[in-house]
Structure 1
Amino acid sequence: MASNESPAHEEGLAPETSSPGPLTSNPHIDNIPAAALEAGDDTETDDGYSSGDAGSTTTSLSSSIRAHVWENGRRYNKFREGQYALPNDEGEQAREDMKHAMTLMLCNGALHFAPIGENPQNIIDLGTGTGIWALDMADKYPSALVEGIDLSPIQPLWVAPNTKFIVDDVEDSWTYPPNHFDLVHLRVLVAHIKDIPKLFEQSFKHIKPGGWLEIHDHENIPYCDDGSMPPDYAPKEMLLMVAEALASIGKDTTAILTADEKLLAAGFTNVTHRVFKLPVGPWPKGKPQKLLGLYWRTAIFDGLQGIAMGTFGRAKKWSPEEIEVYLVGVRKALMDPSIHTYWPYHIITAQKPLS
């Protein structure tokens, strides 16, 4: 990939950009000054759950729904078993919370970019995971009821009064009233959704006129601008196989690249698309970017086994031993300080028209 110089910009919120489409050159990068992109040295409440109403597919936290499935030493969701490829055990939860801290650093501390005002009333987090974003939003906006939906019941039981967690599938029909939410939030979810147009259409129906949908997601592939990534780079080869495995069950790991057009088709306007850069490892010169790179490399490293077990173990029928042998080379390449890669991180906001 040819190296392009990043345009000048101010710190803080990134400027609006058009939809990038599949990347054929360095994307418009907004979070790292051009000088820092050069390689440097590498030395561095009440129970918040809801059972929903009788007509809802929302599932109460009975003993069965709280159950989990163990595969190859990792724990996965029992509800809608097999629909989500990553585990939900303590190791994965710690990784998710670390990614939340990393994302806040990437976004200069901002929990969201959509201009929802000072007193929103209803916010929902789709695929809430550990619930950490929802809890932070409930603290920031005491006026709002913040709900988090996930297939796994791994969120805290004791939460603030304005927080609620629900075990449900966001791809099912929603039972909320129309024109209800000030903000619908998705983070690292679109690659796990089978019917993205339906999800956007449901979101549009249930967002208030003037309300917002916000998507945060990274591309699931490394890029390199300085030629240091070899053609046979093991992490890239692994991620291409992961994409193939997920495609076999109807998931598209490149879905973030076509989200803009699907949002417009669903009726949204004022679609803005920002692209940030997540370095893999402490190769950039700038100290904040070094720390960001350490965060992201650790998040990838710690997630390798979980994603491999959940994709290669299911789709390719590899044994745990085969997976562990394969991951040796992936881990070694990931930790190579001479290879300077990054993952593009996309933030999209879209508004429902007032009329």
Structure 2
Amino acid sequence: MTSGWQTYARRYHDFRSGRYPLPNDDREQDREDMMHGMMLQATDGRLIFALIDEDLQNIVDLGTGTGILAIKVPYLESPEKFLKAFRHMRPGARIELQDIDHQCHSDDDTIPDNWPVTRLYDLLVDAFQRFSGNSRAADLGGEYLTNAGFINIQHNCVKLSFGPKKYYVGQFYREACKQFFPALAARHFPKMGWTSAEMEVLLAECREVMKDLQCPCLQYDINF
């Protein structure tokens, strides 16, 4: 979908009154492709975690970025889509969900209080709940699958670091987030009463702390 409306020099979806919070312009499509390459590095080249047969017949994909990921990976997000998928799948078929949890973690619990990126994510979670929907779908993937009727559910977690662990991954994840944060903020923060100057101050603080290669922050790419 390439139609939509523009704000802050970004083009956003017009579908269902702009419910989807991210842009659909060329910059966002380039970021999606960069994230795909980054995830291949983070998973040592694994496109999928589902235990599929070698004689795979059909794959259905939803919500897989620009299409690169859609070559092999099914991706479903809402409870209704899980239920519909379950009803239309043959016995023995498999489904896989991949999403980033949009929370800040660390292996040693050393993320400072009031850290800018944590503050930004807390604000974005609030904005999603008020204007777009659930930003924590990754955490609920197992519950969605269970409620739809799926069995033998497995859970994998891939750590994405801003810091030096897997340097290639950290380098590109920082860049992806530096593009991701202002795109979301421009969509929602004005509706929460923020001025452009206030947004830029917080975004600048986030960019600054992400420069630290010893940054302890991790986020999880969650797979079911």
Report the TM-score when normalising by structure 1: 0.59
Aligned to 2:194: 318
Contact 1:308 1:323 in 2 (8 A): yes
- The residue type paired with residue 74 of structure 2 is H
Aligned to 1:29: none
Distance in 2 between the 1:272 and 1:238 partners? 31
C-alpha offsets along residues 182-224 of structure 1, whole Å, 9 cap, x if unaligned? xx711xx74xxxxx32221111112222111101111101112
Aligned to 2:170, the other structure's residue is in SS state helix
After TM superposition, list the pairs within 5 Å mapping 1:332-343 onto structure 2: 332-343=208-219
Q: Which has the larger radius of gyration?
A: 1
For the pair 1:73 / 2:9, whether they are aligned, the reply is yes
Aligned to 1:198: 80
Aligned to 2:42: 106
Identity of aligned residues (%): 34
- The residue type paired with residue 34 of structure 2 is M
For the pair 1:134 / 2:70, whether they are aligned, the reply is yes
Q: Specify which of 203, 208, 215 is matched with residue 327 of structure 1.
A: 203
How many angstroms does 1:260 deviate by?
1.4
C-alpha offsets along residues 10-56 of structure 1, whole Å, 9 cap, x if unaligned? xxxxxxxxxxxxxxxxxxxxxxxxxxxxxxxxxxxxxxxxxxxxxxx
C-alpha offsets along residues 58-102 of structure 1, whole Å, 9 cap, x if unaligned? xxxxxxx75221112111123323111011112111111011011
> Which ranges in structure 2 are unaligned for 5 or more consecutive residues?
none
C-alpha offsets along residues 311-343 of structure 1, whole Å, 9 cap, x if unaligned? 213x31434343223311121122233431111
For the pair 1:117 / 2:53, whether they are aligned, the reply is yes
Contact 2:33 2:65 in 1 (8 A): no
Report the TM-score when normalising by structure 2: 0.91
For the pair 1:295 / 2:172, whether they are aligned, the reply is yes
Aligned to 2:223, the other structure's residue is in SS state strand
Aligned to 2:33: 97
Give the RMSD, CA atoms, in angstroms.
Answer: 2.0
Structure with higher RCO (Cα < 8 A, 6+ apart): 2
**Aligned residues between the structures:** 224
- The residue type paired with residue 207 of structure 1 is M
Aligned to 2:90: 208
Aligned to 1:343, the other structure's residue is in SS state strand
Q: Specify which of 227, 235, 241 is matched with residue 117 of structure 2.
A: 235
Distance in 1 between the 2:43 and 2:50 partners? 13
> Normalized per residue, which structure has more helix?
2
For the pair 1:277 / 2:159, whether they are aligned, the reply is yes
How many angstroms does 1:106 deviate by?
1.7
> Which ranges in structure 1 are unaligned for 5 or more consecutive residues?
1-64, 138-183, 191-195, 349-355
Aligned to 1:345, the other structure's residue is in SS state strand
Contact 1:68 1:76 in 2 (8 A): yes
Aligned to 2:140: 258
Aligned to 1:55: none
How many angstroms does 1:247 deviate by?
0.6
How many angstroms does 1:258 deviate by?
2.7
Distance in 2 between the 1:272 and 1:227 partners? 26
Q: Specify which of 99, 107, 119 is matched with residue 217 of structure 1.
A: 99
Contact 1:228 1:338 in 2 (8 A): no
Distance 1:264 1:228, change over 3 A: closer
How many angstroms does 1:119 deviate by?
3.2
- The residue type paired with residue 177 of structure 2 is I
Distance in 2 between the 1:222 and 1:185 partners? 26
Aligned to 1:185: 74
Q: Which runs of 4+ in 1 moved over 6 A?
A: none
Aligned to 1:278, the other structure's residue is in SS state strand
Distance 1:209 1:242, change over 3 A: same
Distance in 1 between the 2:114 and 2:163 partners? 19
Distance in 2 between the 1:253 and 1:210 partners? 30
Aligned to 1:124, the other structure's residue is in SS state coil
C-alpha offsets along residues 101-143 of structure 1, whole Å, 9 cap, x if unaligned? 11111222121122332333321211132111124x3xxxxxx
